Structure 1
Amino acid sequence: MAVSGTSSTRRQGGRGLNTILGWFLVLFIAAEALGLALPLLCIDAVGTGVILPADACEESVGEYTRTLMDGGAFRPGDLPSCSTYMELDKDLHVRSSDMDAGSRSRILDRISSNGLNPMGTFVVVPRDGGYLVIAYQIGARYAMDDLNRRLPSPETVLKLWMALNGILVALVAIILLGRYLRRGVEPMDRAVEQISSGNLDFSVGSSTVREFDQVLGSMEVMRANLRSSLESQWRLQEEGRRRTAALAHDLKTPLTGIACWADLLGETDLDADQSDYLSRLVKDEGRMEDLTASLIQSSLDETGRGPDRRPCKLGEIVDKVTDLVRAQVKAKAISLEVKSPTDLDVDLDPALTVQALGNVLVNAVEHTPRRGSIRLGAAIGDHPRRLVLAVEDSGPGFTRQDLELATEQSYMGDPSRSGRHFGLGLSVAKRDAQVQSGGITLGRSDDLGGAMVSLCFGLEEEAG
């Protein structure tokens, strides 16, 4: 049922996702650019002498080499701090050195391959029948030697900062974007929570994100339609209850007539069988009046009542139920065997229990062939304490589909089993058992070969 309301195509509030993501991309790039301003600071630091340029060490080594070439004496302490040395004899054997073994081996391999011409970051100076090799570093470095020893190189610091800046900016951008989108989703969360709790009398809000707002528009239409549908269903249920109550009330008139005619019939001369039949007729008429009163009450009661538990005799319940079917059992010559302790006290709702067991037993009588057998048994179980009433028959039994669906309301099953009671009786029995903390189980009777229906009732306390 369509209900006029806010259409999802009319809600255009908020920004689009593409616009939001575009703005965050611009902000991300701007933050990255600001974070990468450190190289400019490094350039300024180079200009002020805090950080030496990448070729500073090479120039210092060049000046010191020219001093040696002009006849200056070599002293290791005079070498620039960014360089190391290695003295070789004329056969290229190492006399002395402060280089590490890897650097010495690498330089000697290059000299052996390319001669004494410098190939890389080292120079060769002829000295006293041998050679002096001075290796140096290329790269920015601090002007103070203590900083070079204690801190990573400026280039390493710059790379670490660039990586950290990228991570921080991305993290902050994700957090901010997540918060923005979460605020946009909050109206949807509230709407879903309201609908889930069964409250449809609310107004769906709006979102700061256009796409989310369109979803909220659809949810508003769904809420309005659902509310209209539930109201319509409630009106139909109310009308159905009123009709049922009226029909049940109308049934009281012919029942009252039956009772009056039964009273008049009792005043005539009757033989023993006729008196017995009249007594059973009066009992059945009283039972119908009780059921009619219960039907009127349940039709007018919107909230429903719980079971009216009270101590009662199991034998009395079983007797009432067997009396309901005694005429049918006799007409079909069915053997009805009852195995139930007559003096057992149970804490149940007698009316609901009689109704549940009666529906099951009527169903069994209906589908048991002539001269067949029915068995009704009762047992008390513990942990938790419960009463189990089992009805077995020698009829055709349940099909696989029946076992799954027979307790559903209005299920009729196979046409061969569809009588006046099968579509409703077992569902009513299931309901009456469930409201007393029990249930119903369908199966096959091993002894009689037909159907077996077990009703379970939870016993709240041990009577007596």
Structure 2
Amino acid sequence: MGNGVQMAALTSAQAAGKRRGMPLAFVIARYFVYSFVAVGITWVAAFMLLSSAINTGYVVEASWGPANARAVATELMDADSLEPVDIPTSYRYLIVDASGRTVATDLEGAQLGHAAEAADAALGAQSEDIAIEGGGGGLTFASFSVTRGGACVLVSEYLPQWASRDLAETLPNPQNIMFVIGIAGSALALALVAHRASRVISRKMRPLADAAVRIGQEELDFPVGRTNVREVNDILAAMDAMRSSLAESLDARWQAERAQREQMASLAHDLKTPLTVLRANADFVAEELECDEAPCEGDRGDIAAAARDIAVSAERLDGYVRLLIEASHGAGSAAKAPVSPAELCRHVVLEAEPVARARGIELTSSIQPDVAGAPDALLDRTMLARAVSNLVSNAVEHARSRVEISCMLDDGSLVIEVGDDGAGFSPAALEHGCERLFTDDSSRSTTGGERHYGLGLFGAAEAARAHGGSITLANRIDAHGAVLGATATMRLPLSA
């Protein structure tokens, strides 16, 4: 896919994501609301717990001490004996004797100093007087003289207090407990909301994490998931475009590597043909030279022809080796250029002659006159020559005595037909003979016991397909149904 197509796919995917799902800001705001509500509920619960303790009598409300200071002072003023246990828990106190010496107190610091001044004033006042004054910071001081001598100062603070002195001495102030419960409950509520938010966000991000893991493992054939969050969908759409682009890139790389391997295998296979010619002609020359008799004029001609075939085959072998080296370096060897169909046909016939002579097979060829008048076409001459050479080698190996090459034009295509008088193709070969690595053709036994690798016809078919053409396999049948031989036909469109 080109960059324009990739960008179009990405834009389309992002637009689709924006049309569906809620904004991420809404998801975050929702959990902020949850947090505020949870904290509010926690503090309401703490306040209600304090109110319940007040209603059941375990706690005295905050206003009780200041509001009832005069009544409590009046009651304590006439007591036979004034002890700390007689003073309600809503008050802190200072009790002094007639000389002003401290008898009992739970005050300290500035409060104690203020209470001592109030006690001195109460000792010098009328016995029935009760002085109530504010001490700042929500404190109320009620000072009075005691009938049996001495004075007392009650200090009340605008705070709820425990009704039981035992609880007051062992537990913190009820309001402080309420604050602790509120703070701890708020922290717990926020932790629960955060845990819930993390699970939800993790679930919404899971398609993104899954896609990243699968792409990292080069597993690219899968649909990228979607969520109900727009921004996450935008990222998923971008990742899906990246996955598609990466899949196409890797597929192109794998295809290129496969094509390189197949090209090298085909070139290595094609080395067999010139090597066969070299070996056969070298053997022939060696036998002639080892003969005791001097070669006659005809034998000299045969030796010269064999030498020429050796030279031509060596040149072809050198070309194949160069192509093999280029293929191993990843360089493309296919190069189409204007080629005359007639020149191509003559070239393949010339290359076929040494192959047939090396096997002792008669080669006949025919190039119809209309081929000579065909205009040049964009063809890869080297590739097509190798392809036809594979067809010829296959025919020569299975022929009994004769191979034919015919070139003609048919409906704007160049048709090169290679036939032999061998046993013909088996039904399996007629259907699968041009497939890679197919070797199961029992009807066409090889000569010389050579091993086949299923690459010759496949390479020829690939060359034809690279030019928009094809190769068909068929058997020649006589009137009685007997197989006269096999035919491989290459059809190459000249207008492509």
Normalized against structure 2, the TM-score is what?
0.47
Structure with the greater alpha carbon radius of gyration: 2
